[in-house]
Amino acid sequence: MTIRIGNAPCSWGIEFASDPAYPTWKSVLKQAADAGYKGIELGPVGFMPEDPVELGEGLAEHDLELIGGVVFRPYHEPDAWDDVLDGTVRTCKALAAHGAQHLVLIDSISQRRAPTAGRAAEAELMDKAEWTAYRDRIKESAKIGVDHGLTVGIHAHAGGFMDFEPELERLLNEVDESILKICFDTGHHSYAGFDPVAFMKRHMDRISYMHFKDIDPVVKADVVAKRTDFYTACGQGIFCNLGQGDVDFPAVRQLLVDGGFKGWCTVEQDCDPSVPGTPMEDAKANREYLEAIGFS
């Protein structure tokens, strides 16, 4: 099989460049390798060294390939463009320095949308002018990635303005495929209240990269009903080990195989780093589960 399985720093609770609760970048690399992975994402730019020599030595020490990286910034905030641009350019440079392939764009959590995560019918929508400017900011980030030789994918995320199927499909219709593809996250699609497998069937030809996440349906029902914020939901275990939630991973695998998908699929089990847990053990269990259902 030409599908390879990687992991990402968010599986160790890494969401931002720094936090006292975080493990070190060297620890994350070591644990990912010890859990049996051969590839890892960059994580938020600034968490791992931006000096290519230093990071290159760390990757080589643990026989890890850099897969890609995420720009998790507030595309929905016009006044935050300098921050978005900074994250985009720095991430692109870091990825290009190590021959990574995937740049992932995510609109970060908005206070306007966070209360309606998982509630598509209640979510506030942008008006035409706001949407157009928002779309164009995403498009500009994507062009920067393409100019750095990267494959760029949009990633829907709970609590942002790129969350639900209708807005994701609207963006895909308005931005050319040569610039923007899909990084499809199975867990966030389920969190949003939609069927990941059905979406993949419709859009398999545009999916360039996968994030594997599973969702505990009991926790999901509770956090959606209570309008629990995203990071609290992570601490409550909404993202469970693969195979223990409501995502049909055997069906996901079959679609990837039938569609001739090649390349990396990355495990992302977002967790709260301040809560005692076992990220390396979870990472190993997730890899073993994927191997058991036919991923190499």
Tens-place pLDDT, residues 80-114: 999 999 999 999 999 999 999 999 999 999 999 99
pLDDT at position 1: 52
DSSP 109: P
Residues 151, 174 contacting (CB under 8 angstroms): no
Residue type present at position 296: S
pLDDT at position 272: 79
pLDDT, the chain, mean: 96
CA dist 59 and 6 (Å) reads 13
pLDDT at position 25: 97
CA distances from 112 to 15, 60, 204 (A): 20, 43, 31
Sign of dihedral through CA atoms 94, 109, 244, 193? negative
Residue type present at position 268: E
Tell me whether residue 164 is exposed, middle or buried, using C-beta atoms within 10 angstroms of its C-beta: 0 to 12, 13 to 18, 19 or more: buried
**pLDDT band at 173; cut points 50, 70, 90:** very high
CA distances from 109 to 73, 133, 225 (A): 8, 18, 18
Domains belonging to the chain, first-starting first, are 3-293 (3.20.20.150)
β-pair type (207-212, 263-267): parallel
| Alpha carbon 74 to chain centroid, angstroms | 15
Question: pLDDT tens, 127-141?
Answer: 999 999 999 999 999
SS3 167: helix
Question: pLDDT tens, 224-247?
Answer: 999 998 888 888 989 999 999 999
pLDDT at position 179: 98
Residue range 264-289: mean pLDDT, rounded? 90
CA dist 126 and 76 (Å) reads 9
Question: pLDDT tens, 182-208?
Answer: 999 999 999 999 999 999 999 999 999
Q: Which two tokens stand for residue 130?
A: 């706001």
**pLDDT band at 273; cut points 50, 70, 90:** confident
pLDDT at position 278: 86
pLDDT at position 226: 94
